[in-house]
């Protein structure tokens, strides 16, 4: 609908709003008591009295009878109004002052129309809210991607697939929490503001606290505070919350994402592999998901993916060797590896300025990761790739870490934690050297964490999952913005102008 037409429609509705007020009706009342959701009402016996409410999605009048479809979060249902049932004044009000998009509360009885549609025959109705702007046309829904992301409320109202996606996300998180509770975990909350942004290799957001007059960072990971809780005596902890990374935005990365981490005393990474497969089985059963599904990969092609456990296990070092001919254990120098990558005619952005760890990580992401379709456990990672992981007892050059990769996406990362404070300090120092040499994304040092480790820690294994990625994967989406209710976007031109005026006024 053109902008001028929208404004005209808004003016018409504003006049109706004034007339509603003139009749002594409160246009935005305090509450309405419901007895049933609309979808629930459809399964009730004829003659059952119900009290339902929702938004009007369709509306039509035929002489002395009127029909509308109400919609609530459960679904839609037809409501039938008869003049002789609700009275002439109420019927006229419905006809003249109530629009599509408005809210109504209905008290009536379940019945079936002559066309066989289960409906509510209204005994009375209550006006519950005037919409001043019209909804998009129901036939077309909301197709514009920018509108879908900026005005998610319209997307949820008009697009059934989006509603299903976010219902699934809610149920997924609910059952995920239930699994942890059944497994004896305690849910905890750790700070969003930190003195050091560490626990991962990512660029943080920096801000300032006026009261303390200090610079602080938004967390990029939950890791170090959770491990400090294990040091403090807790044994099984998990946290579900936001993490923030000031990096590029693409279909598989968002600056604000929902992250899940857990830590267990006395476990190693093998225990977490078993735990992961048990979790997947539990969630697929509880959510009634078929183990075999067709998913669109990063290559935009459809792949058959089988989530049956146990998952295939692949040695990370051998995988890269098979795919590239390069044995990454033979390199201690980034220059030599860079030369050999170029000889193999492999290219990726920024490769000329990367450290050894950066080259190996991006080599894997370029050549090996896109080929992994079925859920695969990758293990045996070089020590320099994970500064927080424990060194393997048989080979001091690798760490006890695994990642679960599905359809080209890294879904879960876990490892046996490094709890030796001396080794941890040395690894942090190595990261500082890499940063001084020009590496942009390194693991920042945290002296407070070293102090905590020096008080003694048991064996620990930690585990992390990107909730947005898993939900996207299981709902068949290839862009994380499609499974996040309000993804971060650039401001509109109107918002930019408003911001500039605010700055000038200050």
Per-position DSSP letters for 28-80, written without gaps between them = S-S----S--HHHHTTSPTT-EEEEEEEEEEEEEETTEEEEEEEETTEEEEEE
* Dihedrals phi, psi of 470, to nearest 5 degrees: -65, -45
d(CA 54, CA 372): 45
Nearest to 377 by CA among 400, 404, 401: 404
Greatest distance between any 2 Cα atoms in the chain: 88
Quick check: 231 and 456 in contact, CB under 8 A? Answer: yes
Cβ atoms of 137 and 9 closer than 8 Å: no
Q: How many CB atoms lie within 10 A of CB 20?
A: 18
- How many Å apart are CA 460 and CA 185, to the nearest integer? 14
Residue 385, SS3 per DSSP: helix
CB of 379 within 8 A of CB of 311? no
H helices of 159-211, where? 160-182
C-beta of residue 10 within 8 angstroms of C-beta of residue 132: yes
345 carries a ligand binding annotation:
no
Taking the C-alpha atoms of residue 89 and residue 87, their distance in angstroms, rounded to an integer, is: 6
DSSP string, 259-285: EEEEEEET--HHHHHHHHHHHHHHHHH
| Tokens 């390199």 found at | 331
Q: Are 432 and 442 in contact (CB under 8 A)?
A: yes
DSSP-based three-state secondary structure for 393: coil
Strand partners, 379: 315, 402
Exposure string for 449-462, b = 16+ CB within 10 A, e = fewer: beebbeeebeebbb
Given a contact cutoff of 8 angstroms between Cβ atoms, the answer to whether 132 and 14 are in contact is: yes
Going by the annotation, the residues of the binding site for Mg(2+) are 410
Going by the annotation, the residues of the binding site are 410
């Amino acid at each position: 609908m053109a902008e001028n037409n929208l404004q005209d429609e808004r003016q018409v509705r504003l006049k109706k709003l004034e007339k509603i007020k003139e009749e002594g009706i409160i246009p935005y009342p305090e509450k309405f008591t419901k007895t049933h959701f609309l979808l629930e009402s459809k399964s009730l016996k004829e003659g059952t009295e119900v009290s339902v409410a929702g938004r009007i999605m369709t509306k039509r009048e035929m002489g002395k009878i009127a029909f509308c479809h109400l919609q609530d979060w459960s679904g839609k249902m037809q409501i039938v109004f008869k003049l002789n049932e609700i009275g002439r004044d109420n019927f006229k009000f419905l006809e003249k002052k109530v629009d599509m998009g408005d809210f109504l509360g209905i008290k009536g009885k379940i019945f079936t129309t002559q066309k066989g549609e289960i409906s509510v025959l209204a005994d009375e109705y209550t006006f519950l809210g005037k919409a001043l702007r019209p909804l998009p046309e129901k036939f077309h829904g909301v197709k514009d991607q920018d509108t879908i992301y900026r005005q998610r409320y319209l997307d949820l109202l008009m697009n059934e697939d989006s509603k299903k996606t976010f219902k699934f996300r809610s149920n997924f998180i609910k059952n995920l929490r239930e699994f942890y509770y059944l497994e004896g975990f305690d849910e905890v909350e750790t700070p969003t503001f930190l003195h050091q942004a560490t626990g991962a290799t990512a660029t943080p957001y920096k801000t300032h606290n006026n009261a303390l007059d200090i610079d602080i960072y938004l967390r990029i990971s939950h890791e170090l505070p959770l491990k400090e809780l294990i040091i403090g005596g807790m044994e099984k902890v998990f946290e579900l919350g936001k993490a923030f990374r000031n990096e590029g935005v693409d279909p598989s990365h968002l600056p604000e994402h929902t992250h899940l981490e857990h830590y267990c005393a006395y476990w190693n990474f093998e225990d977490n592999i078993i735990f992961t497969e048990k979790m997947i089985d539990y969630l697929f059963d509880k959510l009634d998901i078929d183990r075999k599904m067709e998913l669109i990969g990063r290559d935009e092609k459809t792949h058959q993916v089988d989530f049956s456990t146990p998952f295939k296990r692949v040695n990370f070092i051998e995988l890269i060797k098979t795919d590239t001919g390069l044995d990454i254990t033979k390199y201690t120098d980034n220059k030599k590896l860079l030369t050999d990558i170029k000889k193999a005619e492999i290219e990726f952005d920024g490769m000329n300025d990367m450290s050894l760890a950066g080259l190996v990580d991006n080599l894997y992401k370029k050549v090996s990761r896109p080929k992994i379709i079925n859920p695969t456990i990758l293990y045996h990672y070089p020590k320099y790739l994970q500064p927080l992981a424990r060194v393997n007892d048989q080979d001091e050059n690798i760490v006890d870490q695994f990642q679960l990769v599905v359809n080209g996406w890294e879904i879960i990362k876990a490892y046996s934690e490094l709890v030796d404070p001396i080794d941890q300090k040395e690894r942090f120092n190595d990261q500082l050297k890499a940063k001084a040499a020009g590496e942009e994304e390194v693991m920042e040092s945290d002296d407070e964490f070293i102090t905590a480790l020096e008080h003694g820690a048991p064996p620990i294994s930690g585990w992390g999952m990107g909730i947005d990625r898993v939900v996207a994967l299981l709902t068949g989406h290839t862009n994380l913005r499609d499974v996040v209710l309000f993804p971060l976007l650039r401001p509109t031109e109107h918002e930019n102008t408003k911001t500039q005026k605010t700055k000038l006024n200050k």
